[in-house]
Amino acid sequence: MVSNVADYKTEVHNDWCPGCGDFGIVSAIQMALAEMEVPRHKAAIFSGVGCSGKTSHYLNVYGVHTLHGRVLPFSQGAKLANPEMTVVAVGGDGDGLGIGAGHFVAAGRRNVDMTYLIFNNGVYGLTKGQASPTLKLGLQTKSLPEPNVNQSVNPIALAIASGFTFVARGYAYDVRQLKDLIIAAVKHRGLSFLDVLQPCPTYNDINTRDWFSGMDNIDEMTNRPRPRIYKLEDVGYDPVVHIDSPQEENEKLTQALIKSNEWDAKIPTGIFYKNDIAQSYDQRMAERIPNYLENPPAYQEISAAGKSITDISKMLDKLEI
Amino acid sequence: MSSIDFTWVIGGPQGGGVETAANIFAGACAGCGLKVFGKREYYSNIKGEHSYFGVRVSDKIIRSNVSGITMLVGFDAETLFRHADAVFDDGAIVYESDLSELKIDEVHTLDAQFKERLIKYLLSKNKPLTIQGALDAAKERGVVLYSVSFKEILANLSDETNNPKLRGMFRMQNVLAVSISIGLLGLPPETLLKSVGSIFSRKAEIAEMNKTAANYAYNFATVKYSKFRYQLSPIPKEEHTMMAQGFQSTSLGKIACGCRFQSYYPITPASDESVFLESNEIFEVENNRPGSTLVVQTEDEISAIGMIIGASLTGARSSTSTSGPGFSLMAEALGWAGINEVPIVVTLYQRSGPSTGLPTRHGQDDLQFAIHAGHGDFPRIVYASGDTEEGFYDTAKCFNFADIYQIPVIHMMDKFIASTVSTVKRFDPTKITIERGKLLEKIEAPGYKRFTPSADGISPRSRLGLENGIFWNTGDESDEAGHISEDPENRIYKMDKRAHKMELALEKIPKEDQAINYGISDFCILSWGSTKGPILDAIEMLNKEGYKVGFIQIKLLHPFPTQYIQSLLSGVKKIIDVEANQSGQMGSLLNEYLDRKVDYYILKYTGRPMTCNELFDSIKKIIDNKAEKKQVLTYGV
């Protein structure tokens, strides 16, 4: 089956602001699904609430637009009940790292085999631009009455500390790289996290597209901007945990944490950390329930002609006097 | 009411094996064909605070506890101080002889309020403020005292069996205490030993040691003491009787009716259900591959309900189990399930609120909350079970309601049922039906729309993974396909479509599932949930004295079966509302929906379940026209 990108698009009118980084992300997801040839009915996009929450309506696969901050619980439940589905969860940085931060950490610990994208723009766009958890301390974006008084959370570092086994960063205006990162993330067995830098043209007038491309930082020699964004793969960074040893794992975790602190002058994109050795949740489940993957909750037969076919007699015997 | 009606209570510090002892006692009695009804009371504490377990034994069906104790067993001071006064005048106390000189002030776990009451009581009886004082006060009333040195028994047993380890095994006091009780009551040792064996069945060596101890203590009691005035004797065993705890009923119901996904966050008293499900996660399925329940412990209750919604979208029957505080966190997602017509079942094991309230105590505090939880108007079903047996069958019904009407269902259970151990008829899975409503297995052609109009307002339901079945869901209002829509006409269509399910449910759910009519009389009790047991027992007692009283147990609390209840009440003169909460939450429903008002309230909100005696007294007062409009019950410590 050859899929084309158009198959993954819906007719729904897209009401994001002109120039919004979200457009690049939704295209990258459509391209990734097409390239992987995921049958449309075998994919489900779950979204949180906010501008990014509408993503699921623009994709012609199962689309579940959940509650603010709760995209991970909903999506994990679906993936666990039907492990055959390709599940991608998306949400804003306020959704995932503010109201939903507890779920973010817990999901990392679980390592369910799915992908989570955060549309990271430093503001709560749909409520008119309040500071979000990733906005740096002291910054005053357009609609803030006062500069941001909180420290920002580092999504990459938090993902690594929480146990995500694939941690990467993309940039909404580099759709090709983002598409490749999404494919790598989806193919990874375990929970993959993608921090997607997504300028909000309406409310974040500091971390703009121009800012990311270094328009404020012109090289006097060449008279060209010095882009802030660079690719980890271009500097010979190796994110992969190659051998099953705590030392190897520690080294890779540590280098990823160090890299995650780069900001302002140089901002790395690409894969920070990738551990294929750690077991995913479904693998752990399959060790406990041997036929879990071939007979998951979604596919179990539970009745015949309206009657129960589950045999609970042994459990009842135990209670009999 | 019965030829045998005996209540045995054992107390001790939390973590000291009180529950084990009570289970052995209940098992030993049930093994002799007797009916048992036991309830556990404990503090929110892991070790050290006072807990106690009462087991009522009879030769006839019993459904509640009584006020008072026939035989109290205490090997710690607090048990004796707290309960000696509740022992019937013709009852007995079996106690550790070492304790007698202990003073009230030396027992640090006694709270100030209780101490004050106890001191006042002992002073009024002219007794010293010691265990001996409390015991003497009981003895004066006629209570028989059995002084036992558990330490000495252990020492002797240790010498006789040449097992020096036994000397220090104070944990075994429990088994000794049960065995002495069984000896004093004249029940045969065989069922006792069998019960000990089955309680410790996981560890053969420990089982053997405990059996030896049980046998020794049993013989010790029969030789050393004269028989107690109440003697129990075996009766023919009814076939297929189980001894089960309430939480096991909903767990087994879930397994039988095909719930295959359960997520939960630990909370008393609901988590026992999830733990049971996980302990039994793999099971046989007729002519099929083995089945399994995926039980996921989540980071909070918000995640628990979020996960089951996600799981339900794949077509798997999914549920969570929680208590008041957890359910509070679920309110927002409940609305999401409502607006997106997702079938989920929330098993709500109520306890005393608000906030953390009395975290380990009983209460029917959450009826109004269950009916109203979540913002906005959306349909849900609130269904309440009255006891362990109903818990099993109702669980299956709740899943059917969820599937048929595509709505969230809140199954009301409570702490009283959860921690009651009783003899019940073996659950019969062939009696349950599984109805999945309009869940689709296959969609032939493209063009499916999730919320397409239909005659009864319920649309065919696709599930994630189904070819041609793609749909969208959103917490926003949505169109037929599930995409966001703020169109005013669409809003009316969708709101009315969802709301119509309530009318449909009232029309389709059989009357006998809406409410149980136990008989109508001039005075008629209306109640819901676990008050059923005490009410039925109280009615039996009242009938014996020539009093007539009717009883309707409402099971479907939302949508409220106004018509049916109204029709039952046509000849009734006075309505008595019985509930375990402070405001009379079901009474408010009656006042709202019926064309008449509640005449009398009998309420209890001490966190302790009603006994049949206190209900008997309060109903009698009403019929004798001596009652206030509202009576508040208080029995129990």
Residues B414 and B288 in one domain: yes
Chain B residues within 8 A of A311 when measuring between CB atoms:
283-286
- Sequential DSSP letters for A134-160: TSPTT---TT-SS---SPPP-HHHHHH
Q: Are B64 and B534 in contact (CB under 8 A)?
A: yes
Burial state string for B574-608 with b = 16 or more CB within 10 A and e = fewer than 16: bbbbbbbbeebbbbebbeeebeeebbbbbbbbbbb
The pLDDT value recorded for residue B75 is: 87
Dihedral, CA of residue A228, residue A230, residue A232 and residue A236, to nearest 10: -110
Q: What percent of chain A is modeled with pLDDT above 70?
A: 99
**Is A251's pLDDT higher than 80?**
yes
Q: What CATH number does residue B558 fall under?
A: 3.40.50.920
- Sequential DSSP letters for B112-168: HHHHHHHHHHHHHTT--SBHHHHHHHHHHTT-EEEEE-HHHHHHHHHHHTT-GGGGG
3-state DSSP helix/strand/coil percent for chain B, to nearest 5? 40, 20, 35
Across the interface, whether the CB atoms of A41 and B332 are under 8 A apart is answered no
Chain B residues within 8 A of A302 when measuring between CB atoms:
257-258, 260, 285, 291, 317, 434
Tokens 């034994």, residue?
Answer: B57
Q: Is residue B233 part of a domain?
A: no
Q: Kindly provide the ipTM of the predicted complex, given to two decimals.
A: 0.98
User: How many separate domains does chain B show?
Assistant: 4
Kindly report the nearest CA distance between residue B309 and chain A, in angstroms. Answer: 6
Q: Which of B411, B431, B451 is where one domain is finished?
A: B431
Q: Is residue B278 part of a domain?
A: yes
- Give pLDDT tens digits for A113-125: 999 999 999 999 9
Q: Which residues pair with B58 in a beta bridge?
A: B5, B35
Among the partner-chain residues A65, A75, A298, the one whose CB lies closest to the CB of B476 is A65
Q: Which residues pair with B96 in a beta bridge?
A: B148
Best residue of B279, B292, B344, B389 to probe chain A, by most A CBs closer than 10 Å: B292
Helix (H) or strand (E) run with residue B88 in it: strand B87-96
Residue A1 sits at the chain B interface (C-beta within 8 Å): no
Residue A289 sits at the chain B interface (C-beta within 8 Å): yes
Q: Helices B173-185 and B150-160, interaxial angle, to 10°? A: 100
Residues B125 and B193 in one domain: yes
Q: Helices B189-199 and B204-224, interaxial angle, to 10°? A: 150
Structure tokens at B69: 């104790």
Across the interface, whether the CB atoms of A78 and B311 are under 8 A apart is answered yes
Q: B285 lies in which domain range?
A: 244-431
Q: Are B352 and B268 in contact (CB under 8 A)?
A: no
Burial class (CB in 10 A: 0-12, 13-18, 19+), A319: middle
Q: Is residue B234 part of a domain?
A: no
Residue A75 sits at the chain B interface (C-beta within 8 Å): yes
Q: Is residue B250 part of a domain?
A: yes
Q: Is residue B25 part of a domain?
A: yes
- Scanning B449-510, the segments in alpha helix (DSSP H) are 488-508
Phi/psi at A69 (5° precision): 85, -5
Q: Are A67 and B336 in contact (CB under 8 A)?
A: yes
Q: Are B314 and A44 in contact (CB under 8 A)?
A: no
Residues B450 and B491 in one domain: yes
Burial class (CB in 10 A: 0-12, 13-18, 19+), A245: exposed
Phi/psi at B36 (5° precision): -125, 155
Helix (H, G, I), strand (E, B) or coil at A251: helix
Tokens 């995409």, residue?
Answer: B483
C-alpha span between A214 and A203 (Å, rounded) = 19
Across the interface, whether the CB atoms of B291 and A302 are under 8 A apart is answered yes
- Give pLDDT tens digits for A18-56: 999 999 999 999 999 999 999 999 999 999 999 999 999
Chain A residues within 8 A of B292 when measuring between CB atoms:
289, 291-292, 295, 297, 300
Nearest CA in chain A to B30: A321
Residue A261 sits at the chain B interface (C-beta within 8 Å): no
C-alpha span between A104 and A108 (Å, rounded) = 6
**Is B9's pLDDT higher than 80?**
yes
Across the interface, whether the CB atoms of B464 and A78 are under 8 A apart is answered yes
Across the interface, whether the CB atoms of B432 and A308 are under 8 A apart is answered yes
Residues B297 and B352 in one domain: yes
C-alpha span between B180 and A190 (Å, rounded) = 57
Burial class (CB in 10 A: 0-12, 13-18, 19+), B116: exposed
Across the interface, whether the CB atoms of A320 and B476 are under 8 A apart is answered no
Task: Write the CB contacts of B162 (distance below 8 Å, at least 6 apart in sequence).
Answer: none
Distances (CA, A) of B380 to B251, B351, B377, B414, B454: 22, 21, 10, 19, 19
Chain B residues within 8 A of A291 when measuring between CB atoms:
289-290, 292
Chain mean pLDDT for chain B: 96
Q: Tell me whether the omega of the peptide bond preceding residue B354 falls within 30 degrees of 0, making it cis.
A: yes
C-alpha span between A144 and B539 (Å, rounded) = 68
C-alpha span between B243 and B424 (Å, rounded) = 6
Residue A82 sits at the chain B interface (C-beta within 8 Å): yes
Residues B40 and B186 in one domain: yes
Residue A96 sits at the chain B interface (C-beta within 8 Å): no
Residues B374 and B492 in one domain: no
Across the interface, whether the CB atoms of A295 and B465 are under 8 A apart is answered no
Helix (H, G, I), strand (E, B) or coil at B335: helix
Distances (CA, A) of B341 to A48, B84, B216, B462: 18, 55, 62, 11
Residue ranges per structural domain of chain A: 5-288
- Give pLDDT tens digits for A66-81: 999 999 999 999 999 9
Secondary structure tally for chain B: helices H, strands E: 21, 24
C-alpha span between A197 and A225 (Å, rounded) = 19
Residue A235 sits at the chain B interface (C-beta within 8 Å): no
Q: Per-residue pLDDT averaged across A122-138, rounded?
A: 96
Give the other-Cβ count within 10 Å of B510's Cβ. 7
Radius of gyration of chain B, Cα coordinates, nearest whole angstrom? 27
- Give pLDDT tens digits for B26-76: 999 999 999 999 988 888 888 888 999 999 999 999 999 999 999 999 989
Distances (CA, A) of B306 to A56, B73, B298: 17, 46, 10
Handedness of CA B489, B492, B493, B494 (dihedral sign): positive
Q: Is residue B236 part of a domain?
A: no
Q: Is residue B230 part of a domain?
A: no
Phi/psi at B381 (5° precision): -110, 135
Across the interface, whether the CB atoms of A49 and B475 are under 8 A apart is answered yes
Residues B218 and B311 in one domain: no
Task: Write the CB contacts of B382 (distance below 8 Å, at least 6 apart in sequence).
Answer: B367, B370, B371, B409, B410, B412, B556, B557, B558
How many CB pairs below 8 A link A and B?
245
Phi/psi at A284 (5° precision): -65, -40
The pLDDT value recorded for residue A2 is: 57
- Give pLDDT tens digits for B523-580: 999 999 999 999 999 999 999 999 999 999 999 999 999 999 999 999 999 999 999 9
Confidence of residue B1 (pLDDT cuts 50, 70, 90): very low
**Is A305's pLDDT higher than 70?**
yes
Distances (CA, A) of B443 to B344, B440, B449: 23, 7, 11
Across the interface, whether the CB atoms of B472 and A57 are under 8 A apart is answered yes
Residues B504 and B519 in one domain: no
Q: Per-residue pLDDT averaged across B411-425, rounded?
A: 96
Kindly report the nearest CA distance between residue B305 and chain A, in angstroms. Answer: 8
Residues B521 and B553 in one domain: yes
Helix (H) or strand (E) run with residue B411 in it: strand B408-414
Across the interface, whether the CB atoms of B475 and A67 are under 8 A apart is answered yes
- Confirm or reject CATH 3.40.50.970 for domain A5-288, answering yes or no: yes
Confidence of residue B422 (pLDDT cuts 50, 70, 90): very high
pTM, to two decimals: 0.96
Q: Per-residue pLDDT averaged across A132-143, rounded?
A: 97
Residues B394 and B274 in one domain: yes
**Is B169's pLDDT higher than 90?**
no
Residues B296 and B171 in one domain: no
Q: Are B599 and B575 in contact (CB under 8 A)?
A: yes
Which comes out higher in pLDDT, residue B168 or A185? A185
Distances (CA, A) of A267 to A92, A132, A228, B513: 19, 19, 5, 64
Q: Is residue B284 part of a domain?
A: yes
Helix (H, G, I), strand (E, B) or coil at B455: coil
Chain B residues within 8 A of A75 when measuring between CB atoms:
310
Confidence of residue A3 (pLDDT cuts 50, 70, 90): confident
Residues B327 and B422 in one domain: yes
Among the partner-chain residues A103, A288, A316, the one whose CB lies closest to the CB of B427 is A316
Confidence of residue B178 (pLDDT cuts 50, 70, 90): very high
Q: Are B437 and B404 in contact (CB under 8 A)?
A: yes
Q: Which residues 12-51 of A have a C-beta within 8 angstroms of B? A: 12, 39-42, 44, 46, 49
- Give pLDDT tens digits for B447-482: 999 999 999 999 999 999 999 999 999 999 999 999
Helix (H) or strand (E) run with residue A170 in it: strand A166-171
Chain mean pLDDT for chain A: 97
